[in-house]
Each structure stands twice: as C-alpha cells, then as structure tokens.
C-alpha cells in the first residue's frame, strides 16, 4: 500500500525540474533501449560481418559495460573542488554529454572495405569508449533523481511526467529512425544517427536547465563525505547485495531490460523477414501504441496511489508476460498492431514504477550505510543491467546459427529461421517476465510500515534530500 507522508513543511521540487529530468530519462532510455537496438542487425546484415564475430564483439562490449558502471559510479561519487559551486552530479552529466554523442556517431561509421577484423575491432573500441562516458552520464542522471525527488509523492509525480515525456519523444525518435533506415543501404543508418544526435543535443540543453543542485544538497554531500571516511567499494557492494529489496528490484530491472532488449532488437528482423514489409511500416504500430501508453499513465498513477509501488510493479510484470504470447502467432502488420496496443498499455505502468521502486531501494541501502551512495548504486544496478547486451548477443548468435538464418538482405528465410526470430522476439521475454513477476510479488517487502520507518530514519540521518 502507498504510505501517508506529511509534506506540510517540505519544499516540493518544481514541475520544471521534473520536466528537465524527464528529458534526461528520455536520452538515457532511448540510447539504452532503442539507440543500439538495430546494431546487431547493422553489423550482421548490412555490413556483412559473420554472426559469430558480431556475437563475440557484443559479448566483449557487454562485459566492459558491466565492469565499468559500478567502478565509475563509485569513483565519481566523491565531492571535488567544484562541488560547492557546481554540485556533485550536475558537472559529470554536462562533462560527459558531448563525448557520449560523438562516440555514438562513430559506432555507425566504421572503415568500410578494410576487412572483417577491422570491422570487428572498430565495433569493440567504439562501443566500449561510448559506454565509458555514457556510464558516468547515466549514473549521475539516475543518482540525481533520488536526491532531487525524495518523497513518495515527488517520485510518483516526477516519474509520471518522465514517463509521459519518454513516451512522446522516444516515439518521435523511433519513428524518425524507421523512416530513414532502408534495408540494404548502410548509409541510411549513418544519416539516422546524425538526425538522432541533433535531437539529443536539444534534449541535453533542457536537462541542463534543471539539474542544478541546491546549496543545501551540495552541503549535504560535502558534509556526509567529511564526517565519515568514504566506505570502500567492497563495503558498498556488500551492503547492496545483502539488502534483499535492492537485490529483488535489481533482478527485476535486469529481467525487464533484457526482455525488452531482445524484443526491440528483434523488431527489424520481424518486419524484414516475418512480415516482409519495409522497416518504415514499423512506425504505424509505434504511433498507435503510444496513445495507449500515454493514455494508461493516469490509470497506473492512480492505481499506484491506492495499491502502492510494489503491487503495481508485479502486476505489470505478469500482465506483460502474457502480452508477449500473441506475438508468436502474428503474421502481418494488423496482428502486430493489436498485440502492440496491449503491450504498450501494460508497459506504461511498469515504466511509471521503475524509478520510484529503484529510489526506495537506494534509500534503504543509503540508510544502512548512513550516507548517500546513489551513483554507486546506479553503477551496481547498471552492472547487472548490462547483462541485457550479453544475453542478447548470446541468444541472437546461437539462434541464428542453429536456425541457419540467412544474412543476405534479400533472402527469404526458412520456416525454422522465422521461428528462431519469434523465439528471441517473444517467447524468451514472456518467460522472463512471468518468472520475475512472481519473484517480485513474493520477496519484495519495502512498503507500508517498513517504508515509513525507512523515511523516518533517513530524516533522522539528515540524508533525505
């Protein structure tokens, strides 16, 4: 159940700041879930790199992603000379924003005609450098959310706003991408990257307007670091992995991101090889689906007010699992649209609860550590999240080899190869969501009296902001 809070003496964070962070989440979630979703296809089909080499490169990229996130989060959590003037998190977000976009562009512009080994190495180097900067950026956007919006009311409201903005602008970027990308034309992928980057620059400017940290928040970070010796990285990791609710939330997030990574990365294969229509046709279900995604936000917002974050989250997970099943039998665009409408309505609730649930678990770990360690927690969370890239690479590689997928752009796939696409598109995600929904329902306990006691402890420790 949702808890009751006394906000009468609390300065509620402005709507403008909530909107700014909404654009930050749009950037992060677009790059994580959609910006690289056609990368496997691009290198396998458009550039002709053998699927085994693509898979190995993806695995190396995923392992690097997993290792650098918690480490960079930990080492950038420390107050520095600029903290009192500029803040703890805002400078890192601004500093890393440019190299993130530069290296995102370079991922799509390998040296063509230089041989498979050059393509292989280019993929590895550019994706790993991109993610090094992106990890810091991501850690401090997410870490900032927990501090800027501490109360349940602020978290519920701010992420409802963020969900609305993500729904609108990720749809916009995705639709634009589908209208630019053309099967058999590698240059169209580069053009797409340029257009997307132009939008992300604008979104970053809006984000920068709202990430300023208050004087009180800066002093909280500096005081917390000065009063107690900074906990070792191992101690923070131990605290997180022995906090049950954090672990359950972590597994849930990892499952969700992995399932959606498989789903999103499969879309271009589905439209090309199963429905056999231009990739531009994928814009139609996306546009129709967004109305149901956005229209569902008030429903899930009010549902969470009545039932709390926990029940809303696990209900969405289980419903999401069953919503994947009809995709196994969809054979045309109309069937796909109907299935997509259902899944978007459910996914809206899951997204709306994503950061409220995560922020509650960050609070629990910070209370245990008696200081804020949010960027480190985001890094640890992202360590496991990056399993999505690893699992996607392994699943795609194994399935495409076992089902003899033909990477020729104009090839007509065999029934076996088509079923392979359906498996990594819908069946595996459905199983993952169902299992995780049941786990979350049984083992997550941060609600009601337990959560109220946590809020009181955070206020007593003076780290409730």
Q: Check which CATH number belongs to the domain holding 30 and give it.
A: 1.20.1250.20
Higher pLDDT, 427 or 387: 427
Q: Is 370 exposed, middle or buried (0-12, 13-18, 19+ CB in 10 A)?
A: middle
Look at residue 182 and tell me if it is in a domain: yes
Looking at the predicted structure, is the pLDDT value of residue 10 above 50? no
Pick from 169, 142, 167: nearest CA to 349: 167
Look at residue 6 and tell me if it is in a domain: no
Mean pLDDT over residues 440-453, rounded? 86
Residue 217 dihedral angles phi and psi, to the nearest 5°:
-70, -40
Would you call 25 helix, strand, or coil by DSSP?
Answer: helix
- Domain count for the chain, please give it: 1
Integer Cα distance of 323 and 32 in angstroms = 22
Integer Cα distance of 158 and 12 in angstroms = 11
Instruction: Report whether 281 contacts 275 (CB < 8 A).
Output: yes
Looking at the predicted structure, is the pLDDT value of residue 9 above 60? no
Would you call 34 helix, strand, or coil by DSSP?
Answer: coil
Mean pLDDT over residues 251-271, rounded? 90
Instruction: Report whether 397 contacts 52 (CB < 8 A).
Output: yes
What pTM does this model have? Answer: 0.78
Look at residue 7 and tell me if it is in a domain: no
Integer Cα distance of 37 and 265 in angstroms = 4
Look at residue 437 and tell me if it is in a domain: yes
Integer Cα distance of 124 and 263 in angstroms = 23
Looking at the predicted structure, is the pLDDT value of residue 247 above 70? yes
Q: At what angle do helices 116-148 and 90-107 cross, to 10 degrees?
A: 160
Integer Cα distance of 26 and 23 in angstroms = 5
In the DSSP assignment, the letter for residue 44 is: I
Pick from 300, 10, 354, 360: nearest CA to 152: 360
Question: Which H or E element spans position 113?
Answer: none
Mean pLDDT over residues 289-293, rounded? 90
Instruction: Report whether 393 contacts 408 (CB < 8 A).
Output: no
Pick from 169, 201, 137: nearest CA to 375: 137
Look at residue 9 and tell me if it is in a domain: no
The confidence score (pLDDT) of residue 7 equals: 46
Contacts of 61 (CB under 8 A, 6+ apart): 123, 124, 127, 128, 131, 389, 393
Which domain, by its residues, includes 198?
A: 15-461
Q: Is 352 exposed, middle or buried (0-12, 13-18, 19+ CB in 10 A)?
A: buried
Look at residue 2 and tell me if it is in a domain: no
The confidence score (pLDDT) of residue 363 equals: 83
Looking at the predicted structure, is the pLDDT value of residue 83 above 50? yes
Look at residue 377 and tell me if it is in a domain: yes
The confidence score (pLDDT) of residue 297 equals: 84
C-alpha gyration radius of the chain: 22
Pick from 388, 423, 393, 418: nearest CA to 405: 418
The confidence score (pLDDT) of residue 134 equals: 92
Confidence of residue 257 (pLDDT cuts 50, 70, 90): confident
Pick from 59, 217, 227: nearest CA to 145: 217
Integer Cα distance of 62 and 107 in angstroms = 15
How does pLDDT run across 184-229, given as a tens digit for each residue? 999 999 999 999 999 999 999 999 998 787 677 666 666 666 555 5
Integer Cα distance of 432 and 434 in angstroms = 6
Integer Cα distance of 326 and 337 in angstroms = 11
Instruction: Report whether 260 contacts 429 (CB < 8 A).
Output: yes
Apex CA 69: angle with CA 177 and CA 62, to 5°? 60
Looking at the predicted structure, is the pLDDT value of residue 251 above 50? yes
Instruction: Report whether 12 contacts 195 (CB < 8 A).
Output: no
Look at residue 131 and tell me if it is in a domain: yes
Pick from 239, 270, 247: nearest CA to 373: 239
The confidence score (pLDDT) of residue 230 equals: 55
């Amino acid at each position: 159940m949702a808890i009751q809070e006394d906000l009468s003496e609390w300065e509620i964070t402005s709507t403008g700041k909530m909107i700014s962070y909404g654009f930050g989440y749009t950037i992060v979630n677009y790059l994580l879930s959609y910006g690289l979703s056609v990368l496997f296809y691009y290198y396998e089909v458009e550039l002709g790199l053998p699927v085994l080499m693509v898979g190995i490169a993806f695995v190396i990229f995923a392992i690097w992603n997993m290792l650098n996130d918690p480490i960079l989060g930990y080492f950038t959590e420390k107050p520095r000379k600029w903290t009192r003037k500029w803040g703890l998190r805002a400078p890192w977000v601004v500093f890393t924003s440019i190299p993130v976009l530069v290296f995102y562009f370079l991922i799509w512009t390998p040296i063509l005609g230089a041989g498979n080994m050059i393509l292989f190495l280019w993929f590895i180097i550019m994706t790993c450098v991109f993610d090094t900067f992106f990890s810091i950026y991501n850690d401090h956007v997410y870490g900032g959310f927990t501090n800027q919006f501490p109360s349940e009311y602020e978290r519920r409201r701010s992420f409802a706003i963020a969900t609305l903005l993500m729904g609108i602008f990720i749809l916009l970027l995705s639709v634009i991408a589908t209208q630019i990308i053309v099967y058999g034309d590698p240059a169209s992928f580069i053009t797409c990257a340029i257009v997307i980057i132009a939008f992300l620059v604008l979104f970053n400017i809006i984000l920068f307007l709202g990430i300023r940290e208050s004087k009180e928040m800066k002093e909280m970070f500096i005081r917390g670091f000065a009063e107690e010796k900074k906990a070792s990285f191992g101690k923070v990791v131990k605290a997180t992995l022995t906090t049950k609710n954090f672990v359950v939330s972590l597994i849930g997030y990892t499952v969700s991101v992995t399932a959606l990574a498989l789903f999103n990365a499969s879309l271009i294969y589905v439209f090309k090889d199963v429905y056999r229509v231009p990739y531009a046709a994928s814009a139609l279900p996306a546009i129709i689906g967004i109305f149901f995604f956005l229209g569902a936000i008030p429903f899930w917002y009010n549902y969470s007010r009545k039932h709390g974050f926990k029940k809303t989250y696990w209900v969405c997970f289980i419903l999401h699992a069953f919503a994947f099943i009809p995709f196994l039998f969809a054979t045309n665009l109309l069937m796909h649209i109907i299935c997509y409408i259902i899944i978007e309505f459910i996914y809206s609730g899951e997204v709306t609860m994503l950061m409220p649930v995560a922020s509650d678990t960050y609070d629990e770990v910070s209370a245990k550590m008696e200081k804020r360690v949010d960027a480190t927690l985001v890094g640890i969370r992202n360590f496991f999240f990056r399993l999505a890239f690893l699992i996607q690479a392994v699943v795609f590689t194994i399935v495409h080899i076992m089902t003899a997928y033909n990477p020729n752009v104009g090839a007509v796939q065999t029934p076996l190869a088509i079923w392979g696409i359906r498996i990594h598109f819908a069946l595996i995600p459905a199983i993952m969501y169902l299992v995780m929904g049941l786990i979350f329902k049984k083992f997550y306990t941060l609600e009601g009296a337990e959560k109220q006691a946590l809020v009181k402890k955070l206020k007593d420790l003076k780290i409730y902001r």
